[in-house]
Amino acid sequence: MHDLTLEKRFAPAPQSKPRWRRGVNRLVARLPLPRRRAAAATKRVDLPPTLVFRQLFDPVSSTYTYLLADADKREALLIDPVIERSEQYVRLVEELGLELVVAVDTHLHADHVTALGRLRTATGCATAMGEMTRSECVSQTFADSEHLRVGDLRLQAMYTPGHTDDSYSFVMPDRVFTGDTLLIRGTGRTDFQNGDPAAQYDSLFDGLLHLPGDTLVYPAHDYNGMTVSTIDEEIRFNPRLQVSSKAAYVDMMNALDLDDPRLIDVAVPANRACGEGSGQ
Ligand SMILES: [Fe+2]
């Protein structure tokens, strides 16, 4: 179990730490305090011994959807469900003898249509997004540091804007669901939906990268066959994180010059309505 006390997490790096880790500590030490405090306030509790966890994949949009459940209380949550796979989710929840109590999106997606509305209709589950959302149909919103509770599971919301201004990550004792803020060997683009590379830098270097190094990283997408990483692994090997300053990160992101997602004109308005009326 990690010890997440403020003192331990932000103590000076011992000399025995690897060179790459000392470099990161020097970098984050220059950052302002509020986001550090937010990361430090992400207090961890033990995972329930009966956690049910499934990583599901939509190959069309390369989206990962996560099913989490408390097997004792039989309550389940879905993160970032894709509308075309709604029946699969409902079937899996039934097969595992669970009740879907809430479906949540990390942010308003531009590359696929959400299943939030479809799942609410099929199961009666709640639908949730962060308080910054422009979605007009979610039944619950959450703010930075608040918890989503499903049975004895607790997921702490961490506001991580930058990819969009409504992006949140969800922190658990041993893992974090990073949406499109931190990808495996990448970070989410910042050139639409009020994206902001400077805000993303803060979300990364003053937020997510302060989680313990062995925290498992589960992103919303992967395009290269990777399924999971860790914070330390990304600090060492993610090319987007090998920058010397916020200005360098902003310059790098602004120079990407990417094509718009194929579905952006369909997905964004549909997702404001939880995917309903999308014609899917
Ligand atoms: Fe996204």
In a domain, 224, yes or no: yes
Domain residues for 55?
Answer: 6-256
pLDDT at residue 264, as a whole number: 86
pLDDT recorded at residue 35: 53
Lowest mean pLDDT among 10-19, 97-106, 159-168, 199-208: 10-19
Res 260: pLDDT = 85
- Residues 30-77 have pLDDT tens digits of 444 455 545 555 555 566 668 999 999 999 999 999 999 999 999 999
Å from CA of 163 to ligand 1 middle: 7
pLDDT at 133 over 80: yes
Q: What percent of the chain has pLDDT over 70?
A: 81
Residue 237 inside a domain? The answer is yes
Distance from Cα 240 to the centre of ligand 1, integer Å: 17
How far, in Å, is the centroid of ligand 1 from the Cα of 111?
Answer: 7
pLDDT digits (tens, 9 = 90+) for 71-87: 999 999 999 999 999 99
> Is 56 contained in some domain?
yes
pLDDT above 60 for 16: no
Output the CA 221–ligand 1 centroid distance in Å.
8
Q: What is the pLDDT of residue 3?
A: 36
> What spacing in Å lies between the alpha carbon of 195 and ligand 1's midpoint?
10
Determine, yes or no, domain membership for 279: no
Residue 5 CA to ligand 1 centre (angstroms): 32
How high is the mean pLDDT of the chain? 86
Q: Does residue 79 belong to any structural domain of this protein?
A: yes
Indicate whether 19 pLDDT > 90: no
pLDDT above 90 as % of the chain: 74
Separation of CA 164 and ligand 1 centre (Å): 7
CATH code (residue 18): 3.60.15.10
Q: Which residues surround ligand 1, an ion (CB under 5 A)?
A: 180
Q: Name, in order, each residue with C-beta under 8 angstroms of 44's C-beta and a sequence gap of 6 or more.
A: 1, 2, 4, 171, 172, 173
pLDDT at 18: 44
Residue 260 Cα to ligand 1 middle (Å): 11
Count of structural domains within the chain: 1
- pLDDT at residue 113 in the model: 95
CA of 142 to the centre of ligand 1 (A): 19
What pLDDT was estimated at residue 39? 57
**Which tens digits make up the pLDDT trace of 212-228?**
999 999 999 999 999 99
Interval 144-151 mean pLDDT: 96
168: in domain: yes
Residue 7 scores a pLDDT above 70: no
* Average confidence (pLDDT) over 189-217: 96
pLDDT at 265: 87
Whether 117 shows a pLDDT value over 80: the answer reads: yes
Q: Is 119 within a domain?
A: yes
Is residue 274, in this structure, part of any structural domain at all? no
